[in-house]
Amino acid sequence: MDTSQYMEMFLEESKDHLQSLNERLLDLEKDPEDSDAINEIFRSAHTLKGMSATMGFTAIAELTHDMENVLDLIRNEKLHADEDIVDILFKSVDALQQMVDNVEAGNPEDSVDVKGLVEKLNAIASGNSTGSIAKSSTDKSSAAPADAADDKKADMSIELTDIDKDLINKAKESGLRAMHVRIILAETCVLKAVRSYMVMSALDELGDVIKSVPPAEDLEQEKFDLSFDVILLTGEEEQRVESTLLGISEIKQVMIEIIKLDAPALVPAVKKAAVPAVAKPSAPVKKKQAIQHHDNMKGGQSVRVGIEKLDSLMNLVGELVINKTRLEQIGNTHRITELVETVEQMDRVTSDLQSIVMKVRMVPVGQVFNRFPRVVRDLAKELGKEVNLTIEGEETELDRTVIDEIGDPLVHLIRNSMDHGIEHPDDREAKGKPRVGKVGLIARHEGNNVIIMVTDDGAGMDAAVIRDKALEKGVITQEDADNMTESEAVRLIFLPGFSTSDVITDVSGRGVGMDVVRTTIEALGGVIDVETKRNAGSIFKIKLPLTLAIIQALLVNVQKEIYAIPLASIDSTINITPDDIKTIQNRETIVIRGEIIPIVRLNQALNVPPAADFDSDEIYIVVVHIGDKKCGIMVDRLIGQQEIVIKTLGKLLSGIKVISGATVLGNGQIALILDVAILMQ
């Protein structure tokens, strides 16, 4: 069977199941009696086993099989899910994760060493006093070969109902052969249901299966030993049937016998009437399987699409927006009313299209959050701390690209909170706090942004300590330190080369952490801030844009060059005269509504060469803000507000800080997008 086309599906679904295994194991750890959790764990493990066996990843299938043995005992209350067992189950899930990752990377999945795990799992399963249950599945398979051997000698008899005979006769008349096929599976076969299903579908292609013993439902539920019988009506030769079936893996033997009905069955009418209830199973065989199959696929409500397809869709919509803008301009310059009207219609369609594409790309932030319960659990054990993680707002949606990037910074923040923030239980008690520390992960919408917060009720940070540390490391000067407010001092942790922990641990505190977190967040167009209170805890607040690809921007002229300033950071625009510019200690400022705002001359900041044929005696100031800081950007002309599609400048030009990207304007010209935060520095 060519499985490559199912690979993607397999990977996606395995990941889902692994995730759910992780989650439910955490539940089980909290409440070992949680029967819902154990049932779901069992189901996930079972499905995973089935999928991996079908795909031929035996190592995964074997490990899940061993897990299942243990899970089965827990499910049947023969075994108590104590800490050790849950630990081993967690480790098994980790090993599975690794194997699935290997499969994804194209490496052999069995390069992960699971011997120790398998031994432990088996020890748990067999060490149990009611070990017979654990063995039941192995018993079954060891007993089966005997059955199979018996079957071989036993004559190939199958009970035929009159209806079967009727069908066989009819088939014979139309030149088909009726065969009695006995399929014997290999003893090592783990997933008999899957194999039987594959056999059935192979047979369906060769002809019609009119009867199976045991009936199809039982086959699906593995209610059979190693062999089963079917009656097949087919035009094919026996050899072909045999070779087809032997082509399926884990099939040990196929026995075929042509059914010869000596005499046309003389069916007494009475008997016929009595039979149908028994005879029926043959027809629904296929249908039932089909339905079952659909259930497994979870219906047609959702489609998995590769992210690269969405990206190119996004790009195309971006192109469309650009061309629409171009048409708009043509309509306006040439005053073609009809065109302008049509473009207005088109505008509505494109903005709908755009918002749908955006929505498609939106993923609930829970996808990132759901790995944290596990991270927190492991870390708490490692650090010997007691921590309770609360997650809020996991349904908040963010652009896929943001989701992909946000994971690592969050791991870092959470680790930080647990390592530096939350105190040891004894210390907490001494401080009069509950032994169990609280770490919170909260997401919510705020206007056009998403806020993600990592909170803890730990020791908080000491501004004075941070300031001294920064001084000592030469990150700031004494003068800086003296003029620093507490909140400014705390923000020093985001500077490169800063680490507050004296002891460098494996968990956090390598001195690169917070700086990297900040850089990642800023690269996503976000901002990170921190609030802290001694002994009450810290709050890290990340503000992220909803989407990255299309933004509203104000286009401005500097000489003849056009730049785009993201609208999100613009406060207001104002038209001033040169007299309005005052200087304070040689820094140019303006006063707007009583507020003193420093200004940046964009032509100087960007070394714009003066153009000979450009003159403008007007001065425009675009007031921008980052956090609570404001700044006026001096430009020559305001062109207007426009929706722009952000494009990167590419690898060769990636080092230019003040430019965050570029966009193609309606006339095909390229305008650069300013990074306001950098410009203000």
Partner 1 sequence: MEQQEAASSEVQIVAFKLKREEYGISILNVEEIKRLTDITRVPFTPEYIKGVINLRGSVLPVIDLKKRIGLPDEEYSESTRIIVIKLEDITVGMIVDAVTEVLTVDTNCITNYKQIISTENDLHAESNKFISGIGNLNDRLVILLNLYEILGLNNENK
474 contacts partner 1 (rule: CB under 8 A): no
Task: Write out 200-246 in H/E/C secondary structure.
Answer: HHHHHHHEEEEEEECCHHHHHCCCCCCEEEEEEEECCCHHHHHHHHH
* Pick 35 or 648: Cβ nearer partner 1: 648
Q: Which residue among the candidates 23, 416, 420, 643 is catalytic per the annotation? A: 416
Crossing angle (nearest 10°) for helices 83-105 and 58-75: 160
Range in contact with partner 1 (rule: CB under 8 A) among 74-82, 206-214, 399-407, 641-649: 641-649
State how far Cα 484 lies from the chain centre: 42
Owner of token pair 């059935």: 200
Q: How far is the CB of 318 from partner 1 (least distance, A)?
A: 8
* Pick 37 or 673: Cβ nearer partner 1: 673
Contact pick of 115, 309, 593, 651 for partner 1 (by CB under 8 A) = 651
Sites for partner 1 among residues 194-233 (CB under 8 A): none
Q: How far is the CB of 422 from partner 1 (least distance, A)?
A: 44
Count CB atoms within 10 A of the CB of residue 321.
22
Task: Write out 313-326 in H/E/C secondary structure.
Answer: HHHHHHHHHHHHHH
300 contacts partner 1 (rule: CB under 8 A): no
Q: Which residue among the candidates 46, 65, 180, 412 is catalytic per the annotation? A: 46
| Cα separation, 541 vs 547, whole angstroms | 18
Question: Which residue, 12, 639, 636, is CA-closest to 305?
Answer: 12
Mask 591-630, x = binds partner 1 (CB under 8 A)?
A: ---------------xxxx---------------------
662 contacts partner 1 (rule: CB under 8 A): yes
Contact pick of 349, 523, 591, 653 for partner 1 (by CB under 8 A) = 653
Tokens found for residue 554: 């104000």
Contact pick of 362, 363, 391, 659 for partner 1 (by CB under 8 A) = 659
672 contacts partner 1 (rule: CB under 8 A): yes
Range in contact with partner 1 (rule: CB under 8 A) among 440-448, 466-474, 591-599, 660-668: 660-668
Mask 508-537, x = binds partner 1 (CB under 8 A)?
A: ------------------------------
Nearby residues of 407 by Cβ (< 8 Å), 6 or more positions away:
368, 371
Does residue 370 carry a catalytic annotation? no
| Cα separation, 239 vs 335, whole angstroms | 79
Tell me if 219 sits within 8 A of 196, measured CB to CB. yes
Q: How far is the CB of 653 from partner 1 (least distance, A)?
A: 5
Concatenate the DSSP letters of all residues of 272-335 into one string.
HHHSHHHHGGGTHHHHHHHHHHHHHHTTTS-----HHHHHHHHHHHHHHHHHHHHHHHHHHHHT
Q: How far is the CB of 346 from partner 1 (least distance, A)?
A: 18
556 contacts partner 1 (rule: CB under 8 A): no
555 contacts partner 1 (rule: CB under 8 A): no
Range in contact with partner 1 (rule: CB under 8 A) among 60-68, 355-363, 520-528, 655-663: 655-663
664 contacts partner 1 (rule: CB under 8 A): yes
Does residue 420 carry a catalytic annotation? no
Does residue 557 carry a catalytic annotation? no
Contact pick of 481, 512, 649, 680 for partner 1 (by CB under 8 A) = 649
Tokens found for residue 616: 């403008």
Q: How far is the CB of 217 from partner 1 (least distance, A)?
A: 55
Name residue 128's amino acid: N
CA distances (Å), 216 to each of 212, 296, 425, 433, 546, in order? 6, 17, 58, 61, 51
Nearby residues of 531 by Cβ (< 8 Å), 6 or more positions away:
487, 490, 538, 539, 541
> Which residues bind to partner 1, rule: CB under 8 A?
315, 318-319, 322, 561-562, 606-609, 647-653, 656-659, 662, 664, 668-672
Cite the active site residues. 46, 68, 416
